Structures are given as structure tokens and as C-alpha cells.
Amino acid sequence: MQESTAGTTDAQAEVAEKSRADAHPDQAFGSDPLAVRESDHYAEEYNEGFVDKWDELIDWRGRYESEGSFFVDLLRKHGVESVLDAAAGTGFHSVRMLEAGFDTTSVDGAAEMLAKAFENGKQYGDYVLKVVHSDWRWLSKDVKGKYDAIVCLGNSFTHLFDENDRRKALAEFYSVLKHDGILIIDQRNYDSILDDGFSSKHTYYYCGDQVSAEPEYVDDGLARFRYEFPDGSLYHLNMFPLRKNYLRRLLREVGFQQIDTYGDFQEAYGSDNAPDFFVHVATKA
């Protein structure tokens, strides 16, 4: 489906109607899914059914191969020992970092995600994950101690719809880092989706070739993605379409000193519209 644009009210109404009809009953998007633009809604979106499907969507083996040692190398380059995986999800990066020898703590605001991450830790390498159930906006209330690095990966930050929530979450990340700590945060290339339409090569992150992940509706304040699985089950996520330079600016404004941005894991990534994903490495010192 093509993305909708502001002003096309008939098309918008049609998308809203279809979205309503398709909405997975457990995901609680209500009668007007396009109006759901709340930072608190993520926990309902990642319900048990969707969480069980999530690993199918991200295909651990494929993701492992396409990411290679990018994050592990970055962490080692910065002399990191302790890492907080702030958006642990089902535990892919937590397991990857434990495997690489980092002292890793896994945080997520959705209890179902953490339960699955714990299970996956046991399954992939017999790791007992240290898990903390916490929302980023109140992270320092739940997480004790300071970390060398925080990673917030898999296009997670996009779940915050309100600028105050984004600032608060980044300030909490900043406060939980040691004086010379680093934050690694990634995002889908929404600039390209907003400006040119959707063209993900499905190479990174969403590696399951059986699963389609595509935007059903996009405007400046909402990217509603539709995830369709081989068994016919259908889920949605409502996300805020973060622009790359906007997120870089917020990082600078909360106090991070240097922000290096990679496109699809490359330092030199050509034009801004080419990559599917950006990874920002923000340093405190």
C-alpha cells in the first residue's frame, strides 16, 4: 500500500477504515487506529501474541549475519565493559553482548518482551539475563549504578510520540551513563520514507523473508506499520517518524558531545536517502 499524504482525506479515511478492520483484537488500537499517537501505548502493542511472532520477524540468524560484529566492535573500540540494553525486546542484542563478554543488563518496558528475552537467554547459550522492567522515562528510578554504554536498538526510540518524552528518556540515558559513557541508538530512515516513500531493502533487522513489514500509513506525526506473517496473522505498530537530524539535535541538546552517525553500518553511506537504518553513537566526554 502506498503511504498517504496530508490532504488526501478520502485516502486517509479509507486507510483508517481498513486499518480498523484489520486491527489485531489484542493490540487495542480502538476504533481510530490512526489517532493512537501515545508514548505509553507500546506495551499494549507488544502483547503476548506479537512477542511470540517477533523472533520470526527479526530472524536471529539472518540478523546475526547482516550485523556482523558492528556493535561489538564499536563497544570494544570505546573500552566498554558494562552495557545496558535499554530496549532488550526478545533479547537479541543482550545475548550477542553476553556472548562477546560484556557485563550486560537488559531493560524493557514491556513485561512480555522481558519474559521472552529471559527464555531466549537460556535457549541461546544458557545465559541468565539480568533483567529490569523499566520505562526509559523513569530509568534511573529502577536501574542502579552507572554503565559504560547504553544501546537502544531495533528502531525502538520511535515509540515515543511526545518531544518531552524523548528529551526525558535521553536525559535518563545520559544520567545512567558514566562520565565518559556512550549511547548507541538506531532508527529507521524515516526521512526517506517521508520524502520518497518506502523502499526498505529488508536487509537489516527485518530479515525474515516470510514476513512482510511495511508502512500502511505515514504522515509527519505517525508511521503505522503492518506486519503480516505466513500464517495470515496481522499486527501493527504505531511509531513516530523521527527525522535523522532532529534526533541528532536532541542528543546534542541533552548534553552528548559528539554524535557520529552511520548508515546501514557504514561510516560513508552516500546520500541521506540511501540507507534503511541510521545508527548514532553519542559520547558524553
Local structure of 204: helix, strand or coil: coil
Nearer to ligand SAM, 108 or 276 (CB): 108
Kindly identify the residues of this chain, within the stretch 111-170, that bind ligand SAM according to CB under 6 A.
113, 135-137, 153-156, 159
Phi, psi (degrees; rounded to nearest 5) at 188:
-65, 155
Nearer to ligand SAM, 110 or 171 (CB): 110
Binding part of the chain for ligand SAM, among 67-75, 87-95, 223-231, 251-259 by CB under 6 A, reads 87-95
Sign of the torsion formed by the C-alpha atoms of 101, 107, 111 and 112:
negative
Local structure of 135: helix, strand or coil: coil
Q: How far apart are the first and last CA of the chain?
A: 45
Q: Give the binding-site size for ligand SAM (rule: CB under 6 A).
A: 19
Kindly identify the residues of this chain, within the stretch 92-121, that bind ligand SAM according to CB under 6 A.
92-93, 108-110, 113
Output the CA–CA distances (angstroms, integers) from residue 149 to 74, 76, 106, 158, in the order listed: 10, 11, 12, 20
In whole angstroms, how large is the CA radius of gyration of the chain? 18
User: Shortest approach of ligand SAM to residue 165 CB, angstroms?
Assistant: 7
Q: Cell numbers at residue 103, please? A: 557485563
Nearer to ligand SAM, 16 or 135 (CB): 135
CA 58/CA 90 separation, integer angstroms? 10
CA 204/CA 33 separation, integer angstroms? 27
User: Shortest approach of ligand SAM to residue 185 CB, angstroms?
Assistant: 11
Query: How many CB atoms within 10 Å of residue 61?
Result: 8
User: Shortest approach of ligand SAM to residue 266 CB, angstroms?
Assistant: 19
User: Shortest approach of ligand SAM to residue 175 CB, angstroms?
Assistant: 15
User: Shortest approach of ligand SAM to residue 83 CB, angstroms?
Assistant: 13
DSSP, res 93: H
User: Shortest approach of ligand SAM to residue 156 CB, angstroms?
Assistant: 4
Q: Cell numbers at residue 208, please? A: 525474515
- Tell me which residue has its CB nearest to ligand SAM: 154
* Interaction between residue 42 and ligand SAM (CB under 6 A): yes
User: Shortest approach of ligand SAM to residue 203 CB, angstroms?
Assistant: 15
Phi, psi (degrees; rounded to nearest 5) at 36:
-80, 100
Nearer to ligand SAM, 41 or 146 (CB): 41
What residues make contact with ligand SAM under the rule CB under 6 A? 42, 46, 58, 87, 89, 92-93, 108-110, 113, 135-137, 153-156, 159
